[in-house]
């Protein structure tokens, strides 16, 4: 991902023909998925969607990146200065230019290159997703939930209050709106950075990773939990685990959402219905006398269930 300065983007008015070709390809792909894979019916982009982007394909050297001088070349544009985030080697296939509400422009370069897998291991791990902690592993490790929104909540409330008193479409209105967008961008980037570090560590150390298959869309309908569930971002964590596992020859398994991982004793298999009460954090198995931490016990059961599926 490469970051540009806004002043370099007068040329965006001239890129319609490049965007049109890929828009047709995307529409065709969406209809193919609808008819063949029974995916949802294609929809037009909402006018309320703040994400704006276009994709242009590589032909005759029209896309190039100069890492030494920090410049990028795109169609309809000479070389412009850019902050280059990552070096790459390979054949450039396309470039996607996008604009975010904070006023920044980015270009994402799609490159065909050879990926070197991480060294294989013999370890396996089960993951129990939580709210107090981001996730708890079957070997007893707990990854902290940084609670990003809570850290910036007061700042957001203050800025949104200021925005409500500004005259709409005035200069000060747009200045305050940009500050709010920058705050949201900071929250999003901080959260994604932390999740990438966690997912990379889990994938690097384990050959088999097992987690729950939570129905997050249904869970956020609970207004008491919607905010914290959105902030902890389980979906993004599992998405990262899934594609990183594919990249590195790992197995990532999601067990059935109705599996009673918290209620089962990981030592003897006894099911304790009293553990449905979420306030119970530790319990002793009445069958074998084993003492359990609720979350670690659930992670052990999740691992056992996942390994049983691939046995």
Positions marked active-site:
128, 212, 295
For residue 94, CA distances in Å to 22, 111, 112 come to 10, 7, 10
* Nearest of 5, 4, 12, 2 to residue 77 by alpha carbon: 12
What is the three-class DSSP state of 160? Answer: helix
Spatial contact of 173 and 166, defined as CB atoms under 8 Å apart: yes
Query: Rounded to the nearest 10 degrees, how much is the dihedral formed by the CA atoms of 192, 194, 199, 200?
Result: 110
């Amino acid at each position: 991902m490469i970051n540009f300065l806004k002043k370099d983007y007068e040329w965006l008015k001239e890129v319609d023909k490049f965007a049109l070709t890929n828009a047709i390809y995307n529409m065709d792909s969406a209809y193919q998925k609808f008819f063949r894979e029974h995916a949802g019916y294609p929809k037009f982009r909402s006018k309320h969607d703040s994400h704006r982007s276009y994709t242009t394909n590589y032909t005759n050297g029209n896309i190039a990146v100069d890492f030494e001088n920090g410049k990028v070349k795109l169609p309809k544009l000479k070389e412009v200065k850019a902050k280059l985030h990552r070096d790459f080697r390979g054949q450039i296939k396309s470039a996607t230019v996008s604009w975010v509400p904070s006023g920044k422009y980015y270009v994402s370069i799609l490159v065909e290159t050879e990926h070197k897998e991480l060294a294989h291991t013999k370890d396996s791990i089960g993951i129990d997703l939580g709210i107090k902690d981001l996730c708890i592993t079957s070997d007893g490790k707990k990854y902290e939930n940084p609670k990003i929104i809570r850290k910036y909540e007061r700042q957001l409330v203050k800025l949104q209050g200021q925005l409500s008193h500004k005259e709409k479409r005035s200069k000060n209105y747009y200045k305050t709106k940009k500050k709010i967008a920058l705050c949201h961008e900071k929250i999003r980037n901080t959260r994604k950075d932390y999740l990438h570090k966690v997912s990379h560590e889990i994938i690097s150390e384990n050959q088999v990773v097992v987690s729950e298959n939570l129905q997050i869309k249904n869970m956020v309908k609970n207004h008491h939990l919607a905010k914290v569930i959105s902030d902890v971002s389980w979906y993004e964590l599992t998405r990262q685990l899934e594609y990183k596992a594919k990249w590195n020859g790992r197995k990532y398994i999601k067990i059935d959402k109705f599996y009673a991982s918290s209620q089962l004793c990981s030592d003897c298999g006894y099911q304790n219905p009293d553990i449905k009460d979420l306030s119970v954090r530790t319990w002793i198995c009445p069958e074998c006398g084993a003492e359990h931490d609720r979350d670690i016990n659930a992670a052990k059961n999740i691992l056992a269930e996942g390994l049983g599926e691939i046995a």
